Amino acid sequence: MPNDDLLALCARSAPRLRALLLDAGNTLIFPDWARIAAWCAEAGAPLSVERLQQANTAATEALDRFMRRQAPRPPRGLLGTALEAAGLAPEVCETVLARIEGLDREGRLWRVVRPGTVEALRALRSLGLVLGVVSNADGRVERFLVDAGLREHLDFVLDSALVGVEKPDPAIFRLALQRAGASPDEALHVGDICSIDVAGARAAGIEAVLLDPVGHYRGCDAPRIRHLDELAHALTLARRARAG
């Protein structure tokens, strides 16, 4: 059941909502945590997928602190910081991170789609919404979405490396609004990093929802979902309530 904050946001937004903007990494497509867990086990440090996902949230919070100028930049990047947060010894972390980086170079890291995602996108489209991706990426995100079987459910994809501006700069959200044919108060954005997705969207006048898959994200005042289907359900309820 959607939480009260999400229901309230959807009740406000549903009457005029025309576009839903979505982050890609850790929102629509996810790292292959099962493979990473297997590599950790091979290196003598068995970890569950759940533990790695929780550590990824801790790494995201570390990135948030950097973006807010409260801490140094995480030196190993998001996934390296996640491995450290999971408790891997430095030598094991280096071994596993090298394999992750190799998988990323091959374009095979960001391939996991959570069950129910396609159904959620279909439900959101059935509400008449334009669906667009706004991603800080390296020029490959559209290909990743094609490979994951999601591109056909999206109307457009903005990749920061290709458009020359990245979140949290509101300029990339303004580009997305132009593509969607929507004004700021006719859009919502969903992403997983508060200081990048939520702050960037709000700077462009767009309300935002935080995707927090494990429910451990601290220090963000945006409405939260654990899965995209929660938003689809809440917006459907809001539309039905208004129609009734």
> Do 166 and 217 belong together in one domain?
yes
> Do 57 and 167 belong together in one domain?
no
What's the rounded Cα separation, in Å, for the pair 229 and 36?
A: 26
What's the rounded Cα separation, in Å, for the pair 197 and 204?
A: 11
In whole angstroms, what separates CA 178 from the centre of its chain? Answer: 21
CATH of the domain at 236: 3.40.50.1000
Number of domains in the chain: 2
Q: Which of 71, 90, 110 is the last residue of a domain?
A: 110
> Do 9 and 74 belong together in one domain?
no
Looking at residue 215, what is its pLDDT? 85
What's the rounded Cα separation, in Å, for the pair 195 and 66?
A: 9
> Do 139 and 105 belong together in one domain?
no
> Do 151 and 93 belong together in one domain?
no
Amino acid identity, residue 2? Answer: P
Domain that holds residue 165: 4-29+113-243
Q: Give the model's confidence band at 244: pLDDT under 50 very low, under 70 low, under 90 confident, else very high.
A: low
> Do 213 and 164 belong together in one domain?
yes
Phi, psi of 189 (to 5 degrees): -125, 140
Q: Give the model's confidence band at 1: pLDDT under 50 very low, under 70 low, under 90 confident, else very high.
A: low
Q: Which of 86, 110, 134 is the last residue of a domain?
A: 110
Looking at residue 123, what is its pLDDT? 97
Please state the pTM of the whole predicted model.
Answer: 0.94
Contact 45, 92 (CB under 8 A): yes
> Do 146 and 238 belong together in one domain?
yes
> Do 55 and 147 belong together in one domain?
no
Cβ neighbours of residue 199 closer than 8 Å, sequence gap 6 or more: 67, 168
Q: Which of 94, 110, 126 is the last residue of a domain?
A: 110
Looking at residue 75, what is its pLDDT? 74
Question: Helix, strand or coil for residue 183?
Answer: coil
> Do 65 and 129 belong together in one domain?
no
What's the rounded Cα separation, in Å, for the pair 104 and 18?
A: 34
Each residue's pLDDT tens digit, 8-65: 999 999 899 999 999 999 999 999 999 999 999 999 999 999 999 999 998 888 888 8
Each residue's pLDDT tens digit, 123-170: 999 999 999 999 999 999 999 999 999 999 999 999 999 999 999 999
Each residue's pLDDT tens digit, 186-231: 999 999 999 999 999 999 999 999 999 988 888 899 999 999 999 9
